[in-house]
Structure 1
């Protein structure tokens, strides 16, 4: 069969660089890796104990011993560590860590012990991956990106000292793909160094690790559980999600999940019916306003085009079950009214790119909100506050803040902050009136889709919108203004959680009533100290008898799920996670006894996530040393390497040094797809393509023709000739261009010329998807 490499008809369809110096090596490497994977698969079909010429008996025996030891270590489900008397701690400090299951099964769903043992590992658990075709292609793509950036820097080194914009200011790196790609000119020095690095990666490192089959970090029972869960999900029986605050997996029947979402959408004070036509009118009007405003502000054409989304996806709604508010009896309920949910709107809508720029402009305003907390500011303010014998301390929480925010009041708060502090801000060429106009247009685009129906949110902010946190914080600054004028001992807030210390209980009650009078939809609830200890964020505060103490705190709703010790993450990542937890536990304590209690709580959490005692005993008595990334580290080009093992990553870094590229490139280990990525699907009830009997959507595929960033294959049914293309735009747009070329038999297009010569028909199939998930 003949194969013809498709040439995109325009530069904007070329989403990956064509590194000419590595293209042939990449092809050879892919063929070599395919051969090695085939040989390894061939060997794996023989019984383990059978003597083979390719594998020694000693190696097979060693692999069996390692497998047996691994199975013994994993035979106990993770949740058992929370309830087993021999494994759990009985210290008083662990009373705030209840022995709860790490999986929530809701309704009449029944799962086997195998499935539960897998889900116990947590959403962040990554099964190991082997070096197959998908991994190799990712490495080739990363190498091509590095090569392109190295050439770009070499060409700019002497010509340019800094990028200039028409606005006179520099925007941060834009996190959205460009519409076109310009290949860089060859550079002899860069190409030579890069060729040395590529040769070492493929023919010295990658090929050697292809011969080493990875040892699974899942037990046979857990692998059976993974197959069971995938089958139940594919059959449409269950929906897999994560909880609102606990962090654990939530398994619910799809029938009950749809009933819960329908019940939520029946709130006519929040939502009304909409249509696809209204959505199209909204985003077209937004794009028109954006282009006119950006041109008036002096932004360059490339930036304007990059931040305009001509074919946006309609956001979809999905809900997270608030499992921490469920009683044990409610877990088996089938009544949708028994469940409280947090509605989330997916990202990538028509306002996503413009909202990013507005966030860049508006985020610095938050430092001018007096009560807003950042990082460790709470401890600093608490220790500086006046505390006496008569003081009263409580925490206030806003009920459903985002959906109850008044958009008009939020816009007014932003306008006042901009007017007062515009001289200290970088507006990137915009004036205040233009910023407010774009902000207002973004808030008007509030249409989403669920189960094929369109809805519009008519009140509040949508969870998942980029601007929601900034606007909510600004809105709360207006609500709390009357309370701040009373000069309290302490008033501070993080989003919707407030901590207040007043001189008397009467003063505290007055503040509570005053806050509840500021907005018709904003309602505060209060929490009082228990045994003189008040939980706030991740700290417990003791303010009694003129004394102020703090200790680390974990909410009862949290299942304390960390990246499991057996997850296929780099060792440095696990050490950092464990070190950060112990650092937090040590920093928030106020005296020696509370330090000991906080450390014991951290040890208990580390133990329940599979970390052996030797790992957390080293971190218990001291703060971990931190290596902050320098400016040079941040400026280095990231080589994204699919993580196989720490040993392989170490060898790749050594190859960088040998090729004299360590000052320009840094290796970033990318763990395999975790269980959350593999199992959770939020767009279960909505397809991107809404065309009935669409001829472009490939038959039997999980995605559809509205996806972007894909490599596609068109095959002639008569002669078997093939066209391989790639596009960063929605696939349906690119295929429509092909179909138009075929209809007119245009000789300037590949398919039109083929049809004119052979007079045959073609059908479409996929080779690879841009965001493919390895299973």
Structure 2
């Protein structure tokens, strides 16, 4: 990205270069004295590599947003405040959600810190704090909890820096343990574990992470696709004569099945052309196994071919299995 910008700036005369250019990853904010200079620089930027095309967004009513910042040009100077998309719903983790308390506190502190860093004046900061508290209150957060988080954050920002605590021993080892979050019992378990480690093991500090349980860990929240739409599977087609064919595909199974119907290179297709009275159930192929790894898919196919010995397979393996073959 820096290479593209440097090359565009190098071809721009010094008198027509942007007054301000800031970049974060692939987002740029630039300031020009006129629209003509802006459009010329925009064309130069897109001309560096034809395959890379930039888009532009111009200020509207003296305002423009850049990442999380809404920049407004006023007669008294530049004013910045927090930007929220038009689709922003104000929905955050509910207060009643079954997650550790420090997750909720960190959410509040994150939103407050963003408002504190972006706001260009204390008046705007106070308005942003009010907006944050209003949104979180609508998600069930107690007002006393929100006020305590705001007070604690401002105290940390403006109180004198406390004297540095004594450094830990260089031989101190940190051990992290992750436990499922089961409510207040988790805090008691963590406290007991930390105390036990501190009393019995020298130079070891235990850190306990509470992991909330997701609903998706109990059951799938998505509909399972039908077999014909699955990919990266090992399948078996069985003929009415008793012969079968085992193969693998990384595409949708229905695409591979169509090839078995019409492609004369397929052993199944040639078998049906030779034996016109035989029938293969193409609508319900049997899936023997599945994996997202390409090499594992080949290994599974080879193992299943050796296990079932299908009569229609010409190749007995898709990759060598030296561990099993002698």
Q: Same fold (TM over 0.5)?
A: yes
Q: Which residue of 1 aligns with 2:266?
A: none
Alpha carbons 2:21, 2:30 under 8 Å: kept: yes
From 491, 501, 507, the counterpart of 2:37: 507
SS in 2 for 1:564: coil
Greater relative contact order (CA < 8 Å, ≥ 6 in sequence):
1
SS in 1 for 2:89: coil
From 584, 587, 595, the counterpart of 2:117: 587
Alpha carbons 1:688, 1:705 under 8 Å: kept: yes
Alpha carbons 2:4, 2:45 under 8 Å: kept: no
Matched, 1:706 2:291: yes
Matched, 1:679 2:221: yes
Alpha carbons 2:234, 2:290 under 8 Å: kept: no
The equivalences for 1:392-431 within 5 A come to none
Alpha carbons 2:235, 2:289 under 8 Å: kept: no
1:576-603 per-position Cα deviation (integer Å, ceiling 9, x unaligned): 1111111111111111221122212212
1:5-45 per-position Cα deviation (integer Å, ceiling 9, x unaligned): xxxxxxxxxxxxxxxxxxxxxxxxxxxxxxxxxxxxxxxxx
Q: Which residue of 1 aligns with 2:208?
A: 667
The equivalences for 1:544-555 within 5 A come to 544-545=74-75, 547-555=77-85
The CA distance in 2 between the partners of 1:731 and 1:665, in whole Å, is: 41
SS in 2 for 1:666: strand
Shift of 1:664: 4.4
SS in 2 for 1:555: coil
Choose between structure 1 and 2: higher helix proportion: 1
Matched, 1:516 2:25: no
Matched, 1:578 2:108: yes
1:439-496 per-position Cα deviation (integer Å, ceiling 9, x unaligned): xxxxxxxxxxxxxxxxxxxxxxxxxxxxxxxxxx466446644477744221122233
Alpha carbons 1:640, 1:667 under 8 Å: kept: yes
The CA distance in 1 between the partners of 2:12 and 2:195, in whole Å, is: 57
The CA distance in 2 between the partners of 1:672 and 1:551, in whole Å, is: 36
Q: 1:619 to 1:665 in 2, by over 3 A?
A: closer
Q: 1:681 to 1:509 in 2, by over 3 A?
A: farther
SS in 2 for 1:616: helix
1:352-387 per-position Cα deviation (integer Å, ceiling 9, x unaligned): xxxxxxxxxxxxxxxxxxxxxxxxxxxxxxxxxxxx
Matched, 1:599 2:129: yes
Q: 1:494 to 1:681 in 2, by over 3 A?
A: farther
Q: Which residue of 2 aligns with 1:612?
A: 142
Q: Which residue of 2 aligns with 1:641?
A: 179
Shift of 1:604: 2.9
1:625-652 per-position Cα deviation (integer Å, ceiling 9, x unaligned): 59xxx998x9623222111114323323
Q: 1:534 to 1:480 in 2, by over 3 A?
A: same
The CA distance in 1 between the partners of 2:234 and 2:306, in whole Å, is: 21
1:644-698 per-position Cα deviation (integer Å, ceiling 9, x unaligned): 1143233233223214358243212111125599525798843332433569xxx
The equivalences for 1:13-162 within 5 A come to none
Alpha carbons 1:643, 1:671 under 8 Å: kept: yes
Matched, 1:565 2:83: no
Alpha carbons 1:489, 1:502 under 8 Å: kept: yes
Structure with greater Cα Rg: 2
Alpha carbons 2:175, 2:204 under 8 Å: kept: no
Alpha carbons 2:180, 2:213 under 8 Å: kept: yes
Q: 1:639 to 1:622 in 2, by over 3 A?
A: closer
Give RMSD over aligned pairs.
4.3
The equivalences for 1:335-484 within 5 A come to 473=1, 476-477=4-5, 480-482=8-10
Alpha carbons 2:175, 2:205 under 8 Å: kept: yes
Shift of 1:501: 1.4
The CA distance in 2 between the partners of 1:567 and 1:704, in whole Å, is: 38
Alpha carbons 1:538, 1:555 under 8 Å: kept: no
The CA distance in 1 between the partners of 2:71 and 2:29, in whole Å, is: 10
Q: How many pairs are equivalent? A: 243
The CA distance in 2 between the partners of 1:561 and 1:646, in whole Å, is: 25
Q: 1:550 to 1:681 in 2, by over 3 A?
A: farther
SS in 2 for 1:515: helix
The equivalences for 1:168-207 within 5 A come to none
The CA distance in 2 between the partners of 1:547 and 1:682, in whole Å, is: 56
Q: 1:602 to 1:519 in 2, by over 3 A?
A: same
Alpha carbons 2:68, 2:82 under 8 Å: kept: yes
> Which 5+ residue runs of structure 2 have no aligned equivalent?
158-166, 238-245, 248-286, 310-323
Alpha carbons 2:70, 2:80 under 8 Å: kept: yes
Q: Normalized against structure 1, the TM-score is what? A: 0.27
From 64, 86, 91, the counterpart of 1:534: 64
Q: Which residue of 2 aligns with 1:234?
A: none
SS in 1 for 2:236: coil
Runs of 4+ residues over 6 Å off in structure 1:
681-684, 734-743
The CA distance in 1 between the partners of 2:94 and 2:11, in whole Å, is: 44
Q: 1:645 to 1:552 in 2, by over 3 A?
A: same
From 177, 181, 188, the counterpart of 1:650: 188
Q: Which residue of 2 aligns with 1:30?
A: none
Q: Which residue of 2 aligns with 1:691?
A: 235
The equivalences for 1:691-770 within 5 A come to 691-692=235-236, 704-706=289-291, 730=296, 733=299
Alpha carbons 2:80, 2:118 under 8 Å: kept: yes
SS in 2 for 1:623: helix
Q: 1:525 to 1:703 in 2, by over 3 A?
A: farther
1:180-237 per-position Cα deviation (integer Å, ceiling 9, x unaligned): xxxxxxxxxxxxxxxxxxxxxxxxxxxxxxxxxxxxxxxxxxxxxxxxxxxxxxxxxx
The CA distance in 1 between the partners of 2:2 and 2:46, in whole Å, is: 17
Shift of 1:554: 1.1
SS in 1 for 2:188: helix
SS in 2 for 1:636: strand
